Amino acid sequence: MTSRDRILERIRAGAHHQVPRPRLPEAPAPEGDLLELLQDNLTLAAASHQRCSTQELPAAVAAYLQRNQLPAKLWVSDEAGLVDFHHPDIELHHESPGAETSAALTGALAGIAETGSLVLHSGADRRTALNFLADHHLVVLPVRSVVACIEDAWPLLRELPDWPRTVNIITGPSRTADIEQTIQMGAHGPRSLHILLVH
């Protein structure tokens, strides 16, 4: 008998397959405009955001870097919608991020209005490390990708051709309260999370 068998045998002594599966509470159905709710909740989660058109995106990113006195360098994800990203003043990087990565630009599969979260996933055209190694994480989210609640994100993932190795649901920048219970941003991941809501 293997350890697996022994553990399962002990479990079977106490698992009788009788307790029915309860009905889960209804997923919350937020009232009002989802985009507005998302924006409010982004702010609550300490993420900043702005709206712009696809054409305005490069300029908006450049302005963000300047505003935050960041080097004019950007690690860009290669996913559809961003492969062609270009701005004359910004030096673009497509290699793995490292200690020097000041800002990264990625897309997102969805934005969750209920919680102010973004759903990102791994794939052949993107790097998960970008979401965590940059000081500033800029995320492009098409306004049509806003969903109401967490439950709405799961079908979108199930529809992907392959289930991704990594799914990141990101709600605000990295933070810690491990020193005297005071919240500090930028523990190991991004100090700032900025969402570009494009229409």
Partner 1 sequence: MKSTSVHFHANARAALNDPVLQDALKRLKAGFVVKRREALEGLPDFPAMREAASALKKHILDHLDIYLEQYEAAVRRQGGEVHWAEDAEQARRIVADLCQRQGLRRVLKGKTMVGEEVGLNEELEAAGLEVVETDLGEYIIQLAKEPPSHIIAPAIHKTRGQVGELFSNAHDNDMSGANAPELVAEARRVMRRHFLAGEVGITGANFLIAETGSNIIVTNEGNGDLSATLPKMHIVVAGIEKVVPTLEDATLLLRILARSATGQRMTSYTTLHTGPKRTSDRDGPNAYHVVLVDNGRSRMLTGPYRDMLHCIRCGACLNHCPVYGAIGGHAYGWVYPGPMGSVLTPLITGLDQAASLPQASSLCGRCEAVCPVAIPLPRMLRELRFDGFDQGHVSGRGLLRTWAFLACRPRLYRRISSLLLAAARGLARRGWLPALPGTGAWRRARDLPAPAAQSFSDWWRRRQ
Write out the binding residues for partner 1, residues 16-35 only, by CB under 8 A: 16-25, 27
Is residue 136 a contact point for partner 1 (CB under 8 A)?
Answer: no
The 3-state DSSP class for residue 158 equals helix
Is residue 43 a contact point for partner 1 (CB under 8 A)?
Answer: no
Binders in 105-124 for partner 1, by CB under 8 A: 114-117, 122-124
Whether 143 and 197 have beta carbons less than 8 Å apart is answered as yes
Whether 189 and 173 have beta carbons less than 8 Å apart is answered as yes
Q: What secondary structure letter does DSSP report for 187? A: S
Closer residue to partner 1, CB minimum distance, 39 or 198: 39
156 contacts: CB under 8 Å, gap ≥ 6: 109, 110, 119, 147
Is residue 151 a contact point for partner 1 (CB under 8 A)?
Answer: yes
The kind and range of the H/E element at 198 are strand 192-198
Closer residue to partner 1, CB minimum distance, 52 or 157: 157
Is residue 129 a contact point for partner 1 (CB under 8 A)?
Answer: yes
Binders in 79-98 for partner 1, by CB under 8 A: 96, 98
* Residue from 105, 196, 82, 198 nearest 143 by CA: 198
- List the beta bridge partners of residue 140: 107, 196
Binders in 60-79 for partner 1, by CB under 8 A: none
Closest separation in Å from C-beta 100 to partner 1: 10
Is residue 174 a contact point for partner 1 (CB under 8 A)?
Answer: yes
Closer residue to partner 1, CB minimum distance, 52 or 82: 82
Find the largest Cα–Cα distance for the chain.
68
Q: Which one among 31, 84, 91, 163 touches partner 1, defined by CB under 8 A?
A: 163
